[in-house]
Structure 1
Amino acid sequence: MGEDEWLELAYRDRTWVTQLDGDLVENARGTVSGTPTSSSMSPGLVVWMLEIARISEGDRVLEVGTGTGYSTALLCHRLGSEAVASVECDPVVAGRARGALTGAGYAPALVVGDGLGHYERNAGYDRLIASCSVRHIPIPWVWQLRDGGTITTPMSGWMCGDAFVHLTLGAGSTASGRFLAEDIHFMTTRSHGPPPMAPPYLTGGEVRESRVDPWTLPQNEVSAGFPTID
């Protein structure tokens, strides 16, 4: 594949899976299959998420999930490399992103580690952006923001429910905000994935009668709208 074809693929507004079960797709030969473990988001989605996060001149940004480094590069181009830090849990993915960013002339702070934890360097960020889905907001994210700083992240549950939130750090180290109208699905961060299931069925458990009458369940009302997260 020539350079022009690679560029056409890179800028096509599609999400590309770049890793399956921990192996980079680019190293595969022939037909590939497996569970996606890393991907490159579509350019339109990357830019839209940066707009939702309200990135502006002078902001310092912590990105969780470097991936291919595409969104990291856009942040560096907009804010300058010195204002951007990005954390990636997979050393192979992180190494490839570092090479791509260096080749493009950018030098952000790149960290190999758990992005759900506390990255102390330059803490007091204006914006924290996650390019992976989480089941809940990690408390260390709040610690890394300045007062009034924001968290922008997709969220996913084990039952395939998706949400997208934009939170602002307030008094007492609490972050609050609303679910956005748009639901987007990002790859779930690895430590927040569902537990493994025993194939083909879960077996060996004890069968017993339920102590809850199932007919009571439909009587419970479910509220709708946009709840506040505290």
Structure 2
Amino acid sequence: MDGRRLTRRGSALCHELAEGHDALPEVLELLADCIGTDLVSCATFEAGSTLFVPGAEHPLLVLHGCAPLTETMLATWDRLLPSHPYAAHLASTPTPAPRLTDVVDLPALEGSAVFELCLRPHGARYQCGLTLDRAPGRLVLLSLWRNDRDFDDPTVETLQLFARAVGAALQVGASLGALRQLSGGVPGAEVLSPRQQQVASMVALGLTNEQIARRLGLTTRTVRKHLEDAFARTGARSRTELAVRWRQEVPSRADLTASV
């Protein structure tokens, strides 16, 4: 576990989240690199029946370590999640156990449909589940999975501290976002996170997602996510429109990539 990098970079990302920027993809990448995982996710579940399960609309889901889930896989999760004993524990317990193996007999779980169809294909045998936010009818869950080994106590303690910081930052960011909406402000390039600004400036230079990914040391999937977030925050409907807005609104930062 690279605790020093997790602390240093994690603190910076929490500041971005508190400012209302979508840094979750980078948070998941950081966890995967520093902790060592096969899969990391952050999902928001809405209450349904006695268990938090996705409703008519799929929950907010950010993944690192696997391809985006297909509609078929999402439907399978919708159907089988209520049968997952650790999911039920996380949803119903105010202070849930952080490890699947703390409450679930792993050999028994491995014989279930939810494991065979949803977990095994992604190498998701051992799970560490961390609550980022909990409210009536709502649960925001950060999950880390490994295939070959469980999460030891020191790692779990570090992850619990990290999750508390991320959860607090998300709540601050949501509150500030609500205040901005009340003020009637129109989102522009100034609301972009530093990473989104870098991506926007490179789009303005005509670089492709693959070229941006190589330049910044990211995956193309992460670049696409930053680009989608930049569209949402600025109201741009295309790469061309984003590039035009960037040049018009932040001409003084047009050469931002020179320092990258």
TM (normalized to structure 1)? 0.25
Higher relative contact order (CA 8 A, sep 6+): 2
- Whichever structure has more strand as a proportion of its residues is 1
TM (normalized to structure 2)? 0.23
- Whichever structure has more helix as a proportion of its residues is 2
